[in-house]
């Protein structure tokens, strides 16, 4: 019998034991090797024959520690007792298991997937942040410990760590991957996604996890949780790329902006149509309304845990919850209306200018030095606000050799098209890793 799962389990444990003492991407787990060995033997017995193996057979996956996994405690990066946070296993974990994947372990998260950073370090330079809040998942993939990891994004918690760590990060349309069994931050924005070293590794997992995934055909683009359009092959053409000019893009620092313009030029030289258009014209309002919704919902999410265990929360989380508690229902309702209107304007702008994918820097610059901050998520904010699918692709390096990334954003529901077009964009960006 082919024991590829067993071999993969041993190699994964070897890599974690060799590298995670410094990087700290995984939540410490006693008995990891024995647990994974048992799971691998079961998988090999079930799918040992080469014919009929599921699409993720033998793939080792890191799972962010706000996602419930049977047999592993959920700490959510906090000091709150795990039994207080316990819940049923997330259905997304069941989908991964049925597709043949094995859970390598829980990955470190910022406290409750908010702003208080965890201990994870950037594999490219241990003195720099890997980003957050999905810090452990991004770092585990970047360090080669696992080829796939689950993260979540409320504002920029996947796209930014992917850029900082030099990996691919996919945040699907809000609601495409079920979020049951996932400790919420702000449910209006919370989205489960994936990290991988490249699009080819990520795409099969997206097809497994996303509801109603279409592998061919144009299809409709739908709304939140919709079926989405067909992939790039089905569309039969290259996407038109839109660069959103104005106060949004001005948030990128000089080095990130220079690198981004260079990569946009590479894409144009390769035959892509790149259109530069002003959008959005009320960026600061979008930032403010997103904060209202986020903080209001965070406070309600912790309405039971915080009164009981608030003394265990870190200062940044306490401040965010207190801010949300002060926000009234009327302000929240108005912010939700503003969000719905912005989503409509986003789609209308793409229709008006014939844009298939927005093209932006994935972060405001390379990973900042130090571990107290996870960096600035503002370049992911409008797209998370709208619930649109986004993809971070590695795109060059800064002068200090830390990775930089490019973000591609599709209209809500067009996840399949985003990933279908992504390999063509990725192929142009590969090899542009020289410092700007």
Give me the phi and psi of 365, to 5 degrees please.
175, -170
Q: Are strands 241-245 and 274-278 parallel, antiparallel or unpaired?
A: parallel
Catalytic residue among 64, 78, 117, 384: 64
Catalytic residue flag (residue 91): no
- Out of 133, 377, 380, 384, the active site residue is 133
Query: CA 253 from chain center: how many Å?
Result: 22
Q: Is the peptide bond before 280 cis (omega within 30 degrees of 0)?
A: yes
210 touches 227 (CB < 8 A): no
Q: Which of 295, 288, 275, 296 is nearest to 381 (CA)?
A: 288
Choose, from 117, 137, 157, 380, the residue flagged as catalytic: 157
**What beta strand segments (E) does 36-188 contain?**
60-64, 102-107, 148-153, 168-171
Query: 122 near 128, Cβ under 8 Å?
Result: yes
3-state class of 192 per DSSP?
strand
Does the annotation count 401 as an active-site position?
no
| Torsion 71-77-203-226 (CA) sign | positive
Quote the DSSP letter at residue 249.
Answer: G
C-alpha 40: how far from its chain's center? 27
179 is catalytic: no
Side-chain-side CA neighbours of 123 within 13 Å: the count stands at 24
Strands 168-171 and 390-397: antiparallel
Buried b (16+ CB within 10 A) or exposed e, 45-80: eebeeeeebbebbbbbbbbbbbbbbeebebbbbbeb
**Catalytic residue annotation:** 64, 133, 157
């Amino acid at each position: 019998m082919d024991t590829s799962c067993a071999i993969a389990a041993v190699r994964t444990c070897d890599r974690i034991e060799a590298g995670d003492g410094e990087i700290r991407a995984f939540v410490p787990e006693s008995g990891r090797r024995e647990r994974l060995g048992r799971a691998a033997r079961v998988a090999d017995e079930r799918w040992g024959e080469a014919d009929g193996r599921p699409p993720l057979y033998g793939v080792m996956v890191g799972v962010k520690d706000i996602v419930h996994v049977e047999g592993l405690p959920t700490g959510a990066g906090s000091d709150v007792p795990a039994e207080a946070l316990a819940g049923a296993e997330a259905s997304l974990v069941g989908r991964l298991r049925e597709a043949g994947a094995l859970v390598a372990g829980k990955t470190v998260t910022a406290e409750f997937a908010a702003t208080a950073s965890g201990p994870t370090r950037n594999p490219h330079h241990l003195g720099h942040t890997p980003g957050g809040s999905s810090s452990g998942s991004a770092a585990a993939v970047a360090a080669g410990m696992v080829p796939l990891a689950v993260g979540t994004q409320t504002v920029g918690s996947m796209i930014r760590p992917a850029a900082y760590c030099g990996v691919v990060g996919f945040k699907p349309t809000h609601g495409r991957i079920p979020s049951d069994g996932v400790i919420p931050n702000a449910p209006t924005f919370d989205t489960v996604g994936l990290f991988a070293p490249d699009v080819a590794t990520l795409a099969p997992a997206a097809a497994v996890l996303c509801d109603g995934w279409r592998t061919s055909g144009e299809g409709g683009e739908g709304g939140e949780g919709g079926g989405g359009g067909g992939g790039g092959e089905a569309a039969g053409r290259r996407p038109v790329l839109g660069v959103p000019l104005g106060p949004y893009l001005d948030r990128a620092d000089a080095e990130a902006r220079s690198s981004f313009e260079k990569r946009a030029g590479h894409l144009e030289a390769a035959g892509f149509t790149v259109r530069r258009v002003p959008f959005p014209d009320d960026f600061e309002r979008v930032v403010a309304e997103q904060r209202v919704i986020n903080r209001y919902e965070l406070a309600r999410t912790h309405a039971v845990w915080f009164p009981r265990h608030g003394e265990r929360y870190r200062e940044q989380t306490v401040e965010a919850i207190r801010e949300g508690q002060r926000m009234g229902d009327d302000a929240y309702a108005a912010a939700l209306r503003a969000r719905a209107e912005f989503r409509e304007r986003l789609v209308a702008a793409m229709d008006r200018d014939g844009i298939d994918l927005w093209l932006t820097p994935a972060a405001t610059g390379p990973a900042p030095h130090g571990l107290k901050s996870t960096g600035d998520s503002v370049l992911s904010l409008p797209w998370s606000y709208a619930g649109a699918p986004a993809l971070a692709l590695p795109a060059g390096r800064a002068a200090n050799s830390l990775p930089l990334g490019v973000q591609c954003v599709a209209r809500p529901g067009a996840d399949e098209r985003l990933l279908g077009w992504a390999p063509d964009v990725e192929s142009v960006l590969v090899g542009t890793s020289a410092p700007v």
